A and B are shown apart, each in its own frame.
Chain A
Amino acid sequence: MTDELDPRPEDLKQRVWESIQRDELPPRDDRGRMRVVMNNLVLHLHPSKVAKPTLKFTYTWGLGGLSLLLVALLAATGVMLMFVYTPSPATAYQDMLRLQTEVWFGQLIRNLHHWSGNLLVIVAFLHLLRVFFTGGFRAPREFNWILGVGLLLLVVGANFTGYLLPWDQLAYWAVTVGSSLLSYIPLIGEALRNFLLGGPEVGAATLTNFYGLHVAILPLTLMAIVSFHIWRVRKDTLTIPHTLDGKVDGAEGGQIEKVTTLPHLVSREMVFALVMTGVILLWSVWVNAPLEAAANPDHSPNPAKAAWYFMGLQELLLHFHPLFGAIIIPGLGLGALILLPYQRFDLSAEGVWFRSKKGRQMAVVGMITAMIAVPAFVVLDEYVLDLPGMLPSLPTLISNGWLPLAALLLLLIGYYDGIKRLFKASACETRQSVFVLLVTSFIVLTIIGVAFRGEGMALMLPWEVL
């Protein structure tokens, strides 16, 4: 035994604080700043230093961070809602009414949860587009792109399961229509739908199933994969932004400066998170989440629509045999999305918005083509073209499935070839143009489904729909 003194300070408050926060705050030098990032549970998801050019806001638009903020808001408000909600057809709708009229700030918390959830679908999708258009999926980031696609699917799944919980007419029939899409998967579709719904129809079992998925399974999976996703960003680092002439954007003399994450990145994140929290809060104060009449399984509303992010699919279903509209075409799209980072990529296009000058022009061509062609095809199919009627001897699987799909694929190949020859675009620029064409098509279909489909799903103008 030596009577050497404990080197830690004598003041109890000081000792408690140092047991929690080991490093000096605020740190005095770069070494200290890096140490704080490394030793902090949350901050260590970041690298200790980042390339200065990647901090530019108009490069990432903070979309990944905003997604994470929304997930945090959703978790916080979602847990609160769990305390005032029982997932049973007898009580669910009553709980919603009570939440909105009797629970202090109940309406506000519900609004926050509802709008954050819907915004998350949009923000996650925009994040995917941002990464694609800046070439942020290239090696070594391919697998992180796939994780991202998985996260997008989880977000949609979480949103869809949450959609049912208010148990109003909107919820009931959107989930009926949405889950019916599943039953068109060959062989296992019907069984899968019944398993998910806990029976052939949306009912008490569906509500319990969706509740379990919504509050436990999907969020836990989401958080696990999100951590993995962010850790990969840290390991793979961000793509360095470049200007059109191939120079590093925001670096003097071509030398990429590295700055400490604290405070350069963290302070930017904090500012953006605060601003966005404010915006969402304001929006939720002013705009209430919709709640219709209590669910009535005996009466379908007219029109019965799926959740808005499925309306593109529902629109496809009006034009194709269900196997094609609900399974084959979306399946092809998803497959292409997953394989996308493994395409051969032009190295000089990395970090350049829309690849190059010509890439930008070709992207606009793709967008305009889709904005003209898709409404034209929809109107044509609605009023003029009746393939099953014109070819009555063929099964509708061929006349309204294989045939139009083959025609569309041929048109797409023609478009690819046309862009390449006419505008002498590189393979990389042409593929981007096709991507823009397809994404715009999906968005246009969604808008048509949401705003231009009224009673009996007939085409009409937006002010007649509402």
Chain B
Amino acid sequence: MTENTLSRRDFLNIAWGAAGALALVETGGVVLSFFSPRVVEGEFGGVIDAGAADTFAVGSVTPFTQGRFYLVRMPDGGFLALYRKCTHLGCVVPWNPAEGRFVCPCHASAFEIDGQVINPPAPRPLDRFAVTIVDGIVRVDTGTPIQRDRTSPDDLVYAEVAP
């Protein structure tokens, strides 16, 4: 049998140290969760009811001030919810109907109707929110903005065509 080299003193030191570290982690967890953001349904951060799908014209951009997004209906009929916050430094990007693009007033970033960057310094397309269409009603989940490196047709959601 090999000699056990761990002395009682070392063992107690390690045990105390581990208990202390655990207590610190627990306290940190309590503090972090205490201060974590809280979200209310129906307000920004919750799921927002945008209305019936067929009320949005094809090729239109509808701002939702409460939900802080634009509901875009692409020329092919697909829906897309774009977070109105510039991906550069967070300014609100207004839709410019004359030019058919989003132009940021802060640092002159510009975006296509689908959020694609036309003009830097914005590093990536406008973030989007998940859209679901149930029984012809468009619902937008503003809880988590979805970041993307490039726009994709998969971002679009289509209403089921009534038979």
Q: Which residues of A contact B (CB under 8 A)?
A: 173, 176-177, 179-181, 194-195, 197-201, 203, 205, 209, 297-304, 314, 317-318, 321-322, 388, 396, 456-458
Q: Is the CB of B105 within 8 A of A301?
A: yes
With both beta carbons as reference points, the residue of chain B lying nearest to A326 in the complex is identified as B89
Given the contacts A181-B89, A298-B92, A304-B89, A209 and B35 also touching, CB distance less than 8 Å: yes
- How distant is A331 from chain B, measured CB to nearest CB, in Å? 18
Q: Does B106 belong to the interface (CB within 8 Å)? A: yes
Residue pairs across A and B with Cβ atoms less than 8 A apart, 13 shown, are A177-B89, A195-B37, A198-B35, A200-B145, A201-B68, A201-B85, A203-B44, A298-B92, A300-B91, A301-B105, A303-B106, A304-B105, A314-B89
Q: Which residues of B contact A303 (CB under 8 A)?
A: 105-107
- How distant is B162 from chain A, measured CB to nearest CB, in Å? 35
Q: Is the CB of A388 within 8 A of B106?
A: no
Q: Is the CB of A322 within 8 A of B123?
A: yes
Q: Is the CB of B120 within 8 A of A457?
A: no
Q: Is the CB of A195 within 8 A of B35?
A: yes
Partner of A388, one of B91, B92, B120: B120
A297–B107 Cα distance when bound, in Å, is 17
Q: Does B5 belong to the interface (CB within 8 Å)? A: no
With both beta carbons as reference points, the residue of chain B lying nearest to A296 in the complex is identified as B92
Q: Is the CB of A318 within 8 A of B91?
A: no
Q: Does B42 belong to the interface (CB within 8 Å)? A: no
Q: Which residues of A contact B59 (CB under 8 A)?
A: none
With both beta carbons as reference points, the residue of chain A lying nearest to B147 in the complex is identified as A190
Q: Does B45 belong to the interface (CB within 8 Å)? A: yes
- How distant is B48 from chain A, measured CB to nearest CB, in Å? 14
Q: Which residues of B contact A396 (CB under 8 A)?
A: 120, 123
Q: Does B7 belong to the interface (CB within 8 Å)? A: no
B interface, over-half SS: loop
Q: Is the CB of B90 within 8 A of A177?
A: yes
Q: Which residues of B contact A299 (CB under 8 A)?
A: 92
Q: Is the CB of A456 within 8 A of B89?
A: no
Q: Does B152 belong to the interface (CB within 8 Å)? A: no
- How distant is A43 from chain B, measured CB to nearest CB, in Å? 38
Q: Which residues of B contact A173 (CB under 8 A)?
A: 91, 106
Number of interface residues of B (CB under 8 A): 25
Q: Is the CB of A457 within 8 A of B108?
A: yes
A456–B109 Cα distance when bound, in Å, is 9
Given the contacts A198-B37, A199-B45, A304-B105, A176 and B91 also touching, CB distance less than 8 Å: yes
A180–B90 Cα distance when bound, in Å, is 6
A240–B52 Cα distance when bound, in Å, is 78
**Given A173-B106, A201-B44, A301-B105, 18 extra CB contacts under 8 A:** A176-B89, A177-B91, A180-B88, A195-B35, A195-B37, A197-B37, A200-B145, A201-B68, A201-B90, A205-B37, A205-B38, A303-B107, A304-B89, A314-B89, A318-B107, A388-B120, A456-B108, A457-B107
Partner of B65, one of A180, A298, A301: A298
A301–B91 Cα distance when bound, in Å, is 9
Q: Which residues of B contact A205 (CB under 8 A)?
A: 37-38
A249–B131 Cα distance when bound, in Å, is 74
Q: Which residues of B contact A198 (CB under 8 A)?
A: 35, 37
Q: Does B36 belong to the interface (CB within 8 Å)? A: yes
Residue of B36, B89, B105, B107 with highest tally of chain A CB at under 10 A:
B89
